[in-house]
Amino acid sequence: MRAFLWAAACALTIFAQTSKKPFQAQASSTISYGVQGGAETVQISNVWYETAARLLLRKTTRTKETIGDKGIEATSTVEAWRLGVDLREKALYKIAVEGVDPRIVGGDLLTISRGLEETEWWSVYQLGSGAHLFDTYTPLQQASIARETLKPRYAGLDVPADDAKDARLKAPNVVGVLVYASGERVIREALITSDDPKRATILRSYADASRTLTFTPQNVTVSISQNYPSAPATVTITVPVARDDLDIARARASGGIHVTAWKR
């Protein structure tokens, strides 16, 4: 029986080795400049390859910009294959969204910058499967919660738009959703609300408020300040991290601000 198992293992190893065949692939980047009705336009297409987590990624970004106008038109596509698979075969997954700068974070997540106008925000995806995990309106933050070995965790802040698909996020007292995640899944979400609906409207406004998020193995801290010409009137929310989770019961926040467990 042992001999049979050994032979089977050898056969699988040989098959895995011989099924990976050398290949070559190439892609071109282009730029086009033009003038239409007195307006200068620039269109750029960039394609590049990257390897991570035994995957081969092909990342394509196409942009169109009118010189002098705010914002750009842009789409990014990320296709993934198992390392060693010919790119003529069907991709393991494909992500195609409006945005730029597809970037691998921590070796297990993929972010795409979605803020093409004045508001910066990012979509976060699982690198191994391409599944969308969450959106964040602050740069994605990373920390390791273990001292002996690297155990990365991630934090972000989702600020719902007025037309959010989830009706619960349209409530007038909602400020945002704090997200705590691993490379595989969202571990915990915490809903931030205000007793004063008018204050909540300002704090979740993309134009009237600015946000920062810091993440350490001990705490996740969100700071929200009103933009000029208003006084900053900064609101700070600190949520401890304990046992690989947000300790919402011990959260600390400015007066009238509350943090509660929440799930999509």
b/e per residue, 57-86, with b = 16+ CB within 10 A? bbbbbbbeeeeeeeeeebbbbbbbbeeebe
Query: What's the rounded mean pLDDT across residues 158-182?
Result: 96
| Tokens coding 44 | 């750029």
Residue 135 shares a structural domain with residue 94: no
Residue 72 shares a structural domain with residue 135: no
Query: Is residue 9 scored above 60 in pLDDT?
Result: no
Query: Is residue 248 scored above 50 in pLDDT?
Result: yes
Residue 149 shares a structural domain with residue 259: yes
- pLDDT tier for residue 146 given thresholds of 50, 70 and 90: confident
With respect to residue 199, please indicate whether it lies within any of the assigned structural domains.
Answer: yes
Percent of the chain scored above 70 by pLDDT?
93
Q: pLDDT tens across 173-222, in order? A: 999 999 999 999 999 999 999 999 999 999 999 999 999 999 999 999 99
With respect to residue 5, please indicate whether it lies within any of the assigned structural domains.
Answer: no
With respect to residue 110, please indicate whether it lies within any of the assigned structural domains.
Answer: no
Query: Is residue 7 scored above 90 in pLDDT?
Result: no
Query: Is residue 37 scored above 90 in pLDDT?
Result: no
> Residue 2: its pLDDT value, please?
45
> Residue 25: its pLDDT value, please?
77
Percent of the chain scored above 90 by pLDDT?
79
- pLDDT tier for residue 17 given thresholds of 50, 70 and 90: very low
Q: pLDDT tens across 86-142, in order? A: 999 999 999 999 999 999 999 999 999 999 888 999 999 999 999 999 999 999 999
Chosen domain end from 48, 80, 100: 100
With respect to residue 109, please indicate whether it lies within any of the assigned structural domains.
Answer: no
Query: Is residue 10 scored above 50 in pLDDT?
Result: no
With respect to residue 18, please indicate whether it lies within any of the assigned structural domains.
Answer: no
Residue 212 shares a structural domain with residue 93: no
Residue 135 shares a structural domain with residue 80: no
Residue 64 shares a structural domain with residue 190: no
With respect to residue 210, please indicate whether it lies within any of the assigned structural domains.
Answer: yes
Number of independent structural domains in the chain:
2
> Residue 147: its pLDDT value, please?
76
What secondary structure, in 3-state letters, does 90-158 show?
A: CCCEEEEEECEEEEEECCCEEEEECCCCCCCCEEEEECCCCCEEEEECCCCEEEECCCCCCCEEEEEEE
In terms of residue numbers, what domain contains 50? 26-100
Give this prediction's pTM: 0.88
> Residue 19: its pLDDT value, please?
62
Residue 137 shares a structural domain with residue 260: yes
